[in-house]
Structure 1
Amino acid sequence: MIAKISLEGTWQFQLDEDKRGLKEQLNDTIALPGTTSYARKGKRNQAALADSLTDEYAFEGWAWYSRTVDIPAEHAGSTIMLYLERTRVTTVWIDGIELGTQNSLCAPHLYNVTDRLTTGNHTITIRVDNTNYPTKGGHMTSRDTQTNWNGITGRMELQFFGAAYLEDVRTIPNFTDRSVNIKAKLVGAWEGTLNVSAASVNGTIRHVAATNSYQVSGGELELHYSLGEDALLWSEWEPNLYTLQLALNQKDGTMDVHESTFGLRNFKAEEGHFTINGAKTFLRGKHDGLIFPLTGFAPTTVEEWLQVLETAKSYGINHYRFHTCCPPDAAFEAADRLGIYMEPELPFWGTVTDETYDNHHAEEQQYLIEEGYRILKAFGNHPSFVMMSLGNELWGSKERIDDILRDYKAFDNRPLYTQGSNNFQFVPVILEHEDFYCGVRFSRDRLIRGSYAMCDAPQGHVQLGPQGTLIDYDDAIVPPANGETSNDGLEQGGTIQIQYGTEAKTVKADAAEGELVPHIPVISHEIGQFQTYPDFNEIAKYTGPLKARNFELFKQRLEENGLDHLAEKYHVSSGHLAVESYKEELEAAFRSKRLAGFQLLDLQDFSGQGTALVGVLDAFMESKGLISPEEWRTFCSDAVLLARFPKYNYKAEECFEAAIQLRYLRPEPLSGFTLQWELTAGDEWLVSGEAVASADGPGDFVEIGQITFTLPAVQAMTKTTLHLRIAGTDIRKSYDLWIYPNQVAIDKSGVFLFEELTGEAAALLKKGERVVLMPKPDRLANAIEGTYCVDFWCYPMFRSISESMNKPVPVGTMGLLIEQEHPLFKLFPSEMYSTEPWRQIVENSRSVILDGTERALQPIVQTIDNFERNHKLGMVFECRVGAGSLLVCAVDAELAGETLEGRQFLHSLFHYVRSEDFRPQASLELSRLQELLR
């Protein structure tokens, strides 16, 4: 390129919702780059969506953009290209003459306007259509994520080229001999010299490669350019980059220079793992759907993407999977600089068919295939572009999918390819031409993540109860020799009912023969999905075109139920339980030697599909205040300490044993390191020790050894913390453990205890007695089932899916809100939120629906409901009934009494009822109580 003219600025503009065409002078102006919504053009949208953010100026149809441009005489004879970095379906006119249409959602639109832009003034008119897509577009066009915007974003320019110029330049790094192969097309009838030079950027060391000159002529060319033996490599730890210049000396003395950035790296799939330049790495990924609430579209500047990716990296993330979307060039450039492994995905979420299917489907499929080639051409030179997926949760022809993979690999073998993310769900298959597998299971019961929706049951171990830190996925990935046979998810007739986007669908599902054992790296797909209650303070942050009217609706529902004073506590309590769930989810992945990585859903909130607030960061990639990046990195980084023990609850003087491991992925050896450990109770030191081990290189599972000690003879329930750290490093970890005194008696003496609200119980209350009611949970009709873990993804979406599939509806609750200072917990000290001592208690409980009761009736142990129902749920509550005092605890006392923690809870509960502290303040009429406990 010898010059360019920016087209950024003010354009004449007109909306054409009914697609009538351009018949009059444009009647408005707009600043480009940008979108109609961001510029607040058109009718204001009064809707209040509950399942996503609301675009205040949503527009679908045609939008016309026009401006004049002056072509200087000095560029006469140049080849001129109109470059539009990111847009929708565009049609271009120059001085009223139509030039054509382009429809890429992911790659730039490039129009050759040479014949129309002579010296002088010309009018460029662009029509953008955000309705007539050849495909649904996945998250490239979804209102759940970046919205179905209309406009043009990123660079807009006229590019001028000399008599000869290079296009389709491809850089192919050669790790072994420190060189790069350069493929390109030389346009123009020309022979001469091409000068190639390269200099390092972005690293701590400066390296300049020798300039080489090559004699070239028009047409396809391929060059081999050596960087020298001391060339610098690109990786997540040292993201060294090179600026490559290809300079053509023109006959008129000008020089047409093509400049690009590349990195010298070798990202491979080897023996079930990923390696970068020969060193093993473990992918710590996050999902990304291009959610940017302040604009409604993905940023196109490197600075904005650096801020986003640096935040993710501060939480230990080294990998991004883009769900049915591809980010702009700036995202890849930022990832190049930071050392983050990128995986764009075709904008497709559906069924792939063979070529004989139907014309409509064949058209869409061909478009998507071509879109893949456009993505590879546009972004393939970036060293961060190491992986590519054909789509999300695809179904259809395995043969056709494999053919597409084969053709992509023949065209460009630089990235690694996968057939898609979680394809074929319950009946997965590994295809011949894919390089890695991404999914959630290898059969119905061979699970490789810790949480699932009820419609995809069985659920995972994080939801059903880890009871310790022993679980990994190694046997699920490669079963023992006497393990199960595969593909037990088929229903009669070779069909299966699946979750399909936000709906349900019955699909053909042909089982593979025999047991599926992967021979390529395995990534666990969309792990986590642990929801937190909304933080309504976030509403004020939506100052752009996207409004959080969903949050406003949820807040209104809470106010109508008289629970608005608890909103902040709901957010914090559910959030802390979600964080603990994420910790176990991630550690289980790190404990799995056969797993090559994971992709979180998500580090940040997902603002659509029912409103899924599943992040420890909000939709703005800002902290919710639940956990610091430093603490998160103790279980999500390139060096993670792991203690493996069977349970969290122990009796006094019991022997504690844990195997200590280190998952070490840093490039430098860690020889002769010292592990220091100690057990504390608050500020009190209880016991400590040391161990010495070595990590010889990246990818090591270091078995540090066993730690064993006798727990103290406590006289009261005691929360302790096991601290692990490697001396002289930032590598550390902690686990909370609970110790209970021996011989805890459940003393019911002096307490009137009933399982039902009988006439006798009512009479005792009338007389002013103290009564404890512990109904059998399964006999309560006006109640919600007890479950320990927070809701998966979000209740509205999966309630609907479960109902349409005739599957069990999710419980939908979000942990406990505990009145921790209440005297009931004098002998069972608790946090405000759910912790492991509560797991078995909650799982054997129900929570009574207390809707409509007075605000003073605040449950001592309240279950947090989801934002759709917003029930007031009491697992333990107290009230005055007539002259008497009543405590209701909807826990199965018999089952609770079988565990240490359950006995301690009941011990504390009955101790409280006998004490002078038992003085309920709220009152209930007997008839109302009977109605609630029906």
Structure 2
Amino acid sequence: MISKTDLQGTWELYLDYECTGENVVFNENIKLPNTTSNARKGKINEKRETGHLTDSYKFEGWAWFRRKIDTNAMKCSALELFLERTRITEVFVDGVSLGVQESFCAPHIYDLTEFIGTGERELVIKVSNVGYKTKGGHMTSPDTQTNWNGIVGRIELIAYGEAHCKNVVITPDINAGTVKVTADIIGSESGKAVISAAEYPDGTPASEPVEFDFTDGRLIAEYPMCKNFKLWSEHTPDLYELCIDICGDTTSRIFGIREFAAADGKFTVNGRQTFLRGKHDGMIFPKTGYAPCDVEDWLRVMRISRSFGINHYRFHTCCPPEAAFIAADILGIYMEPQLPFWGTVHAPDEEGYNADEQEFLISEGFAMLREFGNHPSFCMMSMGNELWGSKERINQVMGLYKNADKRHLYTQGSNNFQWTPCVVENDDFFVGVRLAKDRLIRGSYAMCDAPLGHIQTDKPAANHSYDSVIVPHDHHSSSAISEDGTVQIQYGTTMKTVKATEADADLVPEIPIVTHEIGQFETYPDLDEIEKYTGSLKARNFVVFRERLESKGLGHLAKDFFYCSGQLAKACYKEELEAVFRSKLLAGFQILDIQDFSGQGTALVGMLDAFMDNKGIITPEEWREFCNDAVILAVFDSYTPLAGSEFSFDIRLVNFRSKGLAGKKVVYRFECGEVCETGSAIIDSNENYADVCGGIVSLPMVDNITSAVLTVEVEGTDIRNHYELEIIPDVQKVSMEGVHIFTEVSSEAEKLLADGKTVLIFPKPEKLENSIEGFYCQDFWCYPMFREISNMMDKPEPVGTMGLVNDVSHPALKGFECRKYSTPAWWDIVMSSKCEILDGKFADKRVIVRMIDNFERNHDLAILYEYDMSGGKVVVCTSDFEKLMASAEGRVFLRSVADYVRDVP
């Protein structure tokens, strides 16, 4: 390249809704780069979408853009039009078509050499966001970027000298200290090229320039780096810029010297083991509706991710623009783009084979490797998301990429074949949620994908590991395959029946295992967020959710719902992530997500909102306690130990930092009122996983639930963690003397009420028909999407509740000291209850223990409530009385309620 001409600015515009190309009249202007929607062009969309954000200027069709260009002053031998990030384009110069390009990911480049020095020309670009050869995954989905139309990146005329480079490939060798450079030379069969390298971004020379010969239009060079060259990793993201100069025409590329590999079931960077702490990314940018092509925008969001301990991005059926790779290079993030595909891959000889689609996807993968493969952050590549079909064909396509570019690791996809997972020959690592139907490697699942995970079914604890699942001792079942060889699966946001072969239920991958889309614990909408949507995308779904809540008379509880659901989600995420860090046989995770997902029913699963702004639920510092390159863990069986017992725990250290911690002191501190016990031990190993020490604390006798905090830390570092415990009083019996207890408001109860008494109602479970099952764990992803899928698959519906809101000042809870939100002391009580639906019942009722319902139903749900009747008071508890009596926490709760309703003479 010898010069650039920036074409950003004002263009003429015509929106061709019918896609005819007839009577094109440029009747509007638009500033590019932009999208038609973001520029507020087209018909106003008055819809109120509830499953995703609403594009207020939705346009699908052909958008025609026109402007004049003048090539008279250009002194060059070749000229190209460069269009970054667009849809299907066709370029015309003075009405003559220069062809069509279709890549979602790679720049569209058109040859304008014939127009050099020919004066002013009319340049027209037709952009189509219809007629794709594949659906495009999250590149085109209304759930994420939207199916926008426009050009959102660089728009340039690039001038070249007589000879210039194309298809530059940089392959560092960390052992030899050299960089292999290959390139196609356009414009000359032979000549000389000068290669130099400088530190990026400051430009400090990093090695002496070296002149190389090229022949047959091909440059192949082994460029030596300086002796003290720096390696790139998450801990040392040192970068270089390589320049190739051919007679004044220069080509530059950012690169880093690193080796990303797999060995012994782990990923390694430059020979040292690492652990992937990943986030899902669908490129959600709700201010504009499209992913930015500016490095600063990506640096902002990726710095936030890094502050939450993230070192890995998995892009769901999409590939980001180059700016994202540059930002990841700078910050040390390991990137995994995916082909824009979420579906079934057929072999050429199978019914359903779509040659055009597959040829497009294969070419798209090669384009991704060509355009972004030099970036050190581009470490992994995936064939798509939740694929089905021909394992052989998927393996074959993956082999094409591996043979062409060995700088990256490859995987067949994320959660392919669901209940029948497999490893194919070309897999370098495995990404999934299970190794057989009942061998689960994450903590939560949808009901349609059951069995459920340990966080949903087990009482909260700090002891779960997936190691015994990854290498099982017993034979496990695989999947529910019918006699005709098919299985029903969740398929995107719907369901599908697919062919399936019986998987090896005893599959033990020898390659690194990454657990897929862990978490998915939602929070109630923060309705104040509505005002943040100042662009073309509007949160009309939030407006509908607010109206639904208000229609049930619960609008005043919106902030409580948001806060309390968020606290439960935070606790679930902590348990989920710590289980991963306890698992020595896992190589990483991909969380879904630290950021809200705008679509698929509106899945508000983040500690950050869709803008990557903190919701106020947890600080980055607290999150990093259980999600970072070094994590210290307490291991114990219960968050609710019994008063007067001994509380035992172990302390483990997981360390993937560049330096070991041997010789450092680990300190623990247990605090409970006046009780404070401490202990310490010296770390004697630099292993990635180390059992450091253990502790035993004699718990005090208490009369009410008493909070305790166990803190563990590595002295002199930022590595710390804490655990909030609830010591449960040892209540062996609950006196019901003086308690008027019934299963319904009977005639006898009515007499007591008429005398001004209080009656306690424990309805029979079978009588609570208008109720919802008590479920402690936070709702998975979002209720409306998975309710619909469950119904299609004839599977049980999700419970769909989102945690408790407790009236902590109410005297009924005086003897059950608790927080406003769900904590483990409530687990037995909630799981033995039914949540009664009180919609429109008892106008004067006072809900003491309330369950939050999801934003679709918005039921008024209660486990403990009261109302006045006939001069007396009715207190209703929908937990099972016998189950409460059988539980330590249940007995404390029952005692507190009994003391409140007791008829004291």
- Shorter chain as denominator, the TM-score bin is over 0.9
Any stretches of 5+ residues in structure 1 without a counterpart? 250-254, 919-934
- Using the TM superposition, give the Cα deviation of residue 216 of structure 1 relative to its aligned residue in structure 2, in angstroms: 1.7
Q: Tell me, in whole angstroms, the C-alpha distance in 1 between the residues paired with 2:693 and 2:805.
A: 38
Q: Could you give the per-residue CA deviations for residues 771-791 of structure 1, whole angstroms, max 9, x where no partner exists?
A: 100123343101111000111
SS in 2 for 1:185: strand
Contact 1:650/1:900 (<8 A) preserved: no
Aligned positions of 1:272-671 closer than 5 A: 272-357=265-350, 361-480=354-473, 483-513=474-504, 515-671=506-662
Q: Tell me, in whole angstroms, the C-alpha distance in 1 between the residues paired with 2:504 and 2:555.
A: 55
Q: Tell me, in whole angstroms, the C-alpha distance in 2 between the residues paired with 1:469 and 1:208.
A: 49
SS in 1 for 2:358: helix
- Using the TM superposition, give the Cα deviation of residue 685 of structure 1 relative to its aligned residue in structure 2, in angstroms: 4.6
Q: Could you give the per-residue CA deviations for residues 261-311 of structure 1, whole angstroms, max 9, x where no partner exists?
A: 100001111110001011111100000001110000001000000001000
- 1:752 is matched with 740
Q: Could you give the per-residue CA deviations for residues 82-133 of structure 1, whole angstroms, max 9, x where no partner exists?
A: 1001100001100111111001011110111111343311111000010110
SS in 1 for 2:4: strand
SS in 1 for 2:514: strand
- 2:790 is matched with 802
Letter in 2 for 1:199: A
Q: Tell me, in whole angstroms, the C-alpha distance in 2 between the residues paired with 1:719 and 1:24.
A: 72
Q: Tell me, in whole angstroms, the C-alpha distance in 2 between the residues paired with 1:385 and 1:777.
A: 56
Q: Tell me, in whole angstroms, the C-alpha distance in 2 between the residues paired with 1:491 and 1:748.
A: 54
Q: Tell me, in whole angstroms, the C-alpha distance in 2 between the residues paired with 1:710 and 1:278.
A: 45
Q: 2:233 aligns with which of 221, 232, 235?
A: 235
Contact 1:849/1:872 (<8 A) preserved: yes
- 2:127 is matched with 128
- 2:21 is matched with 21
Q: 1:706 and 1:206, CA in 2 relative to 1: closer, same or farther beyond 3 A? A: farther
- Using the TM superposition, give the Cα deviation of residue 801 of structure 1 relative to its aligned residue in structure 2, in angstroms: 0.3
1:108 maps to 2:87: no
Contact 1:744/1:907 (<8 A) preserved: no
- Using the TM superposition, give the Cα deviation of residue 72 of structure 1 relative to its aligned residue in structure 2, in angstroms: 3.5
Contact 1:427/1:489 (<8 A) preserved: no
Which moved further from structure 2: 863-872 or 484-493?
484-493
Q: Tell me, in whole angstroms, the C-alpha distance in 1 between the residues paired with 2:112 and 2:54.
A: 38
Q: 1:310 and 1:856, CA in 2 relative to 1: closer, same or farther beyond 3 A? A: farther
Task: Provide TM-score, normalisation by structure 1.
Answer: 0.95
Q: Tell me, in whole angstroms, the C-alpha distance in 2 between the residues paired with 1:790 and 1:228.
A: 54
SS in 2 for 1:392: coil
Contact 1:589/1:595 (<8 A) preserved: yes
Q: Tell me, in whole angstroms, the C-alpha distance in 2 between the residues paired with 1:848 and 1:714.
A: 32
- Using the TM superposition, give the Cα deviation of residue 793 of structure 1 relative to its aligned residue in structure 2, in angstroms: 0.5
1:816 maps to 2:804: yes
- Using the TM superposition, give the Cα deviation of residue 476 of structure 1 relative to its aligned residue in structure 2, in angstroms: 1.1
- 1:928 is matched with none
Contact 1:784/1:849 (<8 A) preserved: yes
Q: Tell me, in whole angstroms, the C-alpha distance in 1 between the residues paired with 2:844 and 2:749.
A: 23
Aligned positions of 1:122-161 closer than 5 A: 122-161=121-160
- 2:224 is matched with 226
Letter in 2 for 1:5: T
Which moved further from structure 2: 387-396 or 363-372?
363-372
Q: 1:888 aligns with which of 868, 876, 893?
A: 876
SS in 2 for 1:86: coil
- Using the TM superposition, give the Cα deviation of residue 512 of structure 1 relative to its aligned residue in structure 2, in angstroms: 3.1
Aligned positions of 1:83-232 closer than 5 A: 83-201=82-200, 208-232=206-230
Contact 1:450/1:460 (<8 A) preserved: yes
Which moved further from structure 2: 109-118 or 655-664?
109-118
- 1:687 is matched with 677
SS in 2 for 1:442: strand
Contact 1:332/1:379 (<8 A) preserved: yes
- Using the TM superposition, give the Cα deviation of residue 856 of structure 1 relative to its aligned residue in structure 2, in angstroms: 4.2
Q: Tell me, in whole angstroms, the C-alpha distance in 1 between the residues paired with 2:842 and 2:763.
A: 22
Q: 1:640 and 1:866, CA in 2 relative to 1: closer, same or farther beyond 3 A? A: same
- Using the TM superposition, give the Cα deviation of residue 543 of structure 1 relative to its aligned residue in structure 2, in angstroms: 0.1
Letter in 2 for 1:762: E
Q: 2:704 aligns with which of 708, 711, 716?
A: 716
Q: Tell me, in whole angstroms, the C-alpha distance in 2 between the residues paired with 1:659 and 1:443.
A: 30
Contact 2:93/2:121 (<8 A) preserved: yes
- 1:929 is matched with none
- Using the TM superposition, give the Cα deviation of residue 513 of structure 1 relative to its aligned residue in structure 2, in angstroms: 4.4
- 2:5 is matched with 5
Letter in 2 for 1:508: K
Q: 1:873 aligns with which of 854, 857, 861?
A: 861
Contact 1:427/1:490 (<8 A) preserved: no
- Using the TM superposition, give the Cα deviation of residue 762 of structure 1 relative to its aligned residue in structure 2, in angstroms: 2.9
Q: Tell me, in whole angstroms, the C-alpha distance in 1 between the residues paired with 2:352 and 2:625.
A: 53
SS in 2 for 1:14: strand
- 1:922 is matched with none
- Using the TM superposition, give the Cα deviation of residue 661 of structure 1 relative to its aligned residue in structure 2, in angstroms: 0.1
Q: Tell me, in whole angstroms, the C-alpha distance in 1 between the residues paired with 2:246 and 2:805.
A: 69
Q: 1:818 and 1:519, CA in 2 relative to 1: closer, same or farther beyond 3 A? A: same
Q: Tell me, in whole angstroms, the C-alpha distance in 2 between the residues paired with 1:74 and 1:494.
A: 65
Contact 2:845/2:868 (<8 A) preserved: no
- Using the TM superposition, give the Cα deviation of residue 20 of structure 1 relative to its aligned residue in structure 2, in angstroms: 2.6
SS in 1 for 2:125: strand
Letter in 2 for 1:148: N
- 1:32 is matched with 32
Letter in 2 for 1:44: I
- Using the TM superposition, give the Cα deviation of residue 15 of structure 1 relative to its aligned residue in structure 2, in angstroms: 0.5
Which moved further from structure 2: 388-397 or 66-75?
66-75
Contact 2:14/2:24 (<8 A) preserved: no
Q: Tell me, in whole angstroms, the C-alpha distance in 1 between the residues paired with 2:595 and 2:358.
A: 31
- 1:259 is matched with 252
- 1:838 is matched with 826
Contact 2:105/2:364 (<8 A) preserved: yes
Q: Tell me, in whole angstroms, the C-alpha distance in 2 between the residues paired with 1:778 and 1:167.
A: 73
Equivalent pairs: percent with the same residue?
A: 51
Q: Could you give the per-residue CA deviations for residues 501-526 of structure 1, whole angstroms, max 9, x where no partner exists?
A: 01011111101346211110000000
SS in 2 for 1:650: coil
Task: Provide TM-score, normalisation by structure 2.
Answer: 0.98
- Using the TM superposition, give the Cα deviation of residue 241 of structure 1 relative to its aligned residue in structure 2, in angstroms: 0.4
Q: 2:730 aligns with which of 736, 742, 758?
A: 742
Contact 2:639/2:824 (<8 A) preserved: yes
Q: Tell me, in whole angstroms, the C-alpha distance in 2 between the residues paired with 1:767 and 1:543.
A: 59
Contact 1:678/1:685 (<8 A) preserved: no
- Using the TM superposition, give the Cα deviation of residue 840 of structure 1 relative to its aligned residue in structure 2, in angstroms: 1.0
SS in 2 for 1:261: strand
SS in 2 for 1:524: strand
